[in-house]
Structure 1
Amino acid sequence: MAISKSQSFLEGLWYRQTPLWLWLFLPLQLLLRLFVFSRRALYSIGWFKSTKLSKPVVVIGNVTVGGTGKTPLSIYILQWLKEQGYQPGLVTRGYGGAAENHPLVVDEDTSADISGDEPYLIFHQTKVPVVVDPIRSRGGQKLIDLGCDIVICDDGLQHYALQRDLEVVVIDSARGLGNGWLMPMGPLREPPSRLKTVDIQIINGQSMRLEPLGYQGVGHDKPLDATAVDAVAAIGNPQRFFDTLKTLGLEATPHVFPDHHQYQTDDFKGMNGPILMTEKDAVKCHHLADDRMYYLPVKTQLTEELDKELKQLLTQLLN
């Protein structure tokens, strides 16, 4: 299993029983807690500038480091808003992308290397305006200039420089909040108490599920006819992907890479295939794909109660 040593080491500390020596980092954790509290307080009293856009802003984020399922939820929300006749758009930092000029409006000619894997995937699945900009207020204003009537902000919960009308937090049911500590003692960006202030919490793996669809070739249309695969993942919680493959009856040899990893040909050396990956990984492999490579697209499903609540909140913003 190929895996980043630092990633494996940190997750081993954060999501398992905390060793006693980790308490050596308590002063750093307390310092971050003070910084987080002070920063949010200074934004709330107007000491730091926070921009209010002319259209509703929905932030989809988390309180932990790493992925929790925000991207598939963003796609679900964007597609639903579009079906209702609205003109949604998404702004994101574009982590992992090489864009130098911002705001970057993603289009058909934008590569995943430039925009980042998530903006590329969201644009091609939804066909709504997607803007990459580390300054979310500027990127959000660009969406409004393009005609959007609601701005979805991906992974911007801690970006208080942009005011928001609705906060949606996604939590991974398998990992939860880890040991409950802030970095570097734990995986939290903000204290658990922050969850009390958001509008809605979505638990990926409980109130939200990712339903696997049919296997697709990366750049080819050959069917996947095998029961044993090399499973490749560079996502926040790769184990969820591997567990999904197991439920589908596949014997998977796992290969884990850091989240947002930019694949190279050498990454696949020694893999006889078939090689099965997530759709987020596949968008970064088109330039080096061969007929060994497949991906597993997923569809977001919410419980009936949560689906109704979320759509009511979104509708209220637009009426």
Structure 2
Amino acid sequence: MREPGFWYRPPSLLSILLRPLGALYGAVAAHRMAQPGTAVGVPVLCIGNFHGGGAGKTPTTLALARLLRELDERPVVLSRGYGGKLHGPVSVEPGRHSAAEVGDEPLMMAREVAVVVARDRVAGAALARARGASVILMDDGFQNPAVAKDAALIVIDSMRGLGNGCVMPAGPLRAPLSPQLARTDALIVVGDGGAADPVAAAVKAQGGLPLRARFAPAEASLAALRDKKVLAFAGIGDPARFFATLRTAGIDVAAERVFADHHPFSAQDLAGLSEHARRDGLNLVSTEKDLARLQGDPAAAGFAASVVPFAVTLQVDDAKALRGFVIARLAQARETQRRSGRR
């Protein structure tokens, strides 16, 4: 799905006309969020968004997995596996599964951390525990009440913020902002823009932790693209942010191609990209998430080999504060579980 452009512009006539539907959708979403979730026996840290589309959940999840390993924890990521056909629960194996089976984001993350895909999140959590998880990182699912969450870390883009502030389909919000804010323990604002500043202030006012972060390109990606002109393409939630990240890193982006989030690349797509790059003497570059879909498709393997994956990691400005937050939340969750076990 490609996000409607009017979501990120001032309220238009179309968004105003869609507000009654947004109010209905929002009421249902808020009611669901208020339902108690199932405790799964280990701490659950949820990484989510207030809105549809991308903001950097996957790099944030991987950054938290690295932090947890530094703390001698055994993190397992729990994902719904959006875009994959397997309902699960299933442990993702990069050499065995494809993006068409388990989704592009789980497949990409499974190269670095254990990942379980499950439509039934409670069943998925049980498999994660069977795999030895001491902490579950729930990738998305903030608005889903199935599993009780010990902390919710929300990721938001500093340039786009909340768009027009309306609930789907009138705007990008997945639920009214108020009940979402009430369940937010930490907010990670990605980038140096100011669009998310009011949200960060609201999180801080209610006792949550606002943090600022940015994407740091991998040196190998920079080295592969240095002094070259590129054709950048992406089928993610916010392709514009990917192109901006490339330019900020000093990459000469001569052309851009935008596809819908989780787009299944066709033979025609690949032929068009290859021809464009050949004709203009450009190097192809895309996201790791897009490459995960391409590399899992035998018909696209040759094309994928010609694409440079632009790898990034999330770097939090106040890493000490994030570390302290995680340690405190894990201790609190385990104390709650200990007390519950006494009853």
Counterpart CA distance in 2 for 1:265 and 1:236 is 22
Q: CA deviation at 1:19?
A: 1.9
Counterpart CA distance in 1 for 2:15 and 2:63 is 39
Tell me which residue corresponds to 1:231.
Answer: 232
Which of 183, 206, 214 does residue 209 from structure 1 map onto?
214
SS in 2 for 1:140: helix
1:278 aligned onto 2:287: yes
Tell me which residue corresponds to 2:146.
Answer: 161
1:109 aligned onto 2:96: yes
1:31 aligned onto 2:31: no
Which of 134, 139, 161 does residue 124 from structure 2 map onto?
139
Gaps of 5+ in 1: 1-5, 45-49
Q: Superposition RMSD on alpha carbons, in Å?
A: 2.0
Tell me which residue corresponds to 2:316.
Answer: 302
Instruction: Encode CA deviations 1:225-255: one digit per residue, 9 max, x unaligned.
Output: 6532111111111111111222214133110
Specify the code of the residue in structure 2 equivalent to 1:14.
W
Q: CA deviation at 1:105?
A: 0.6
Q: CA deviation at 1:134?
A: 1.3
Specify the code of the residue in structure 2 equivalent to 1:267.
D
Which of 305, 311, 319 does residue 323 from structure 2 map onto?
311
Tell me which residue corresponds to 1:47.
Answer: none
Tell me which residue corresponds to 1:97.
Answer: 84
Q: CA deviation at 1:149?
A: 0.7
Specify the code of the residue in structure 2 equivalent to 1:277.
S
Counterpart CA distance in 2 for 1:255 and 1:67 is 17
Tell me which residue corresponds to 1:119.
Answer: 106
Q: What's the TM-score once normalised by structure 1's chain length?
A: 0.87
Counterpart CA distance in 2 for 1:80 and 1:37 is 31
Counterpart CA distance in 2 for 1:21 and 1:75 is 38
Specify the code of the residue in structure 1 equivalent to 2:48.
G
Q: Is the 8 A contact 1:136 1:153 kept in 2?
A: no
| Fraction of identical pairs, as percent | 35
Counterpart CA distance in 2 for 1:40 and 1:318 is 22
Specify the code of the residue in structure 2 equivalent to 1:152.
L
Instruction: Encode CA deviations 1:139-158: one digit per residue, 9 max, x unaligned.
Output: 01111111111111000101
1:17 aligned onto 2:10: yes
Specify the code of the residue in structure 1 equivalent to 2:126.
Q
**Inter-CA distance 208–115: structure 2 relative to 1 (3 Å threshold):** same
Counterpart CA distance in 1 for 2:172 and 2:310 is 28
Counterpart CA distance in 2 for 1:88 and 1:236 is 25
Equivalent residue runs for 1:141-290 within 5 Å: 141-193=126-178, 194-206=180-192, 207-216=212-221, 223-224=224-225, 227-247=228-248, 248-268=250-270, 269=272, 270-272=275-277, 273-286=282-295, 287=298, 288=300, 289-290=302-303
Counterpart CA distance in 1 for 2:65 and 2:14 is 45
Q: CA deviation at 1:215?
A: 4.9
Counterpart CA distance in 2 for 1:225 and 1:59 is 37
Q: CA deviation at 1:55?
A: 0.5
Q: Is the 8 A contact 2:29 2:143 kept in 1?
A: no
Specify the code of the residue in structure 1 equivalent to 2:314.
T
Specify the code of the residue in structure 1 equivalent to 2:253.
E
Which of 73, 77, 93 does residue 60 from structure 2 map onto?
73
Counterpart CA distance in 2 for 1:225 and 1:244 is 14
Gaps of 5+ in 2: 193-211, 332-343
Aligned residues: 297
Query: Normalized per residue, which structure has more helix?
Result: 2
Q: What's the TM-score once normalised by structure 2's chain length?
A: 0.81
1:7 aligned onto 2:7: no
Specify the code of the residue in structure 1 equivalent to 2:161.
G
Q: Is the 8 A contact 1:57 1:153 kept in 2?
A: yes
**Inter-CA distance 252–135: structure 2 relative to 1 (3 Å threshold):** farther
SS in 1 for 2:164: coil
**Inter-CA distance 27–250: structure 2 relative to 1 (3 Å threshold):** same
Q: Is the 8 A contact 2:19 2:166 kept in 1?
A: no
After superposing the two structures, state which structure 1 stretch, 242-251 or 58-67, moved more: 242-251
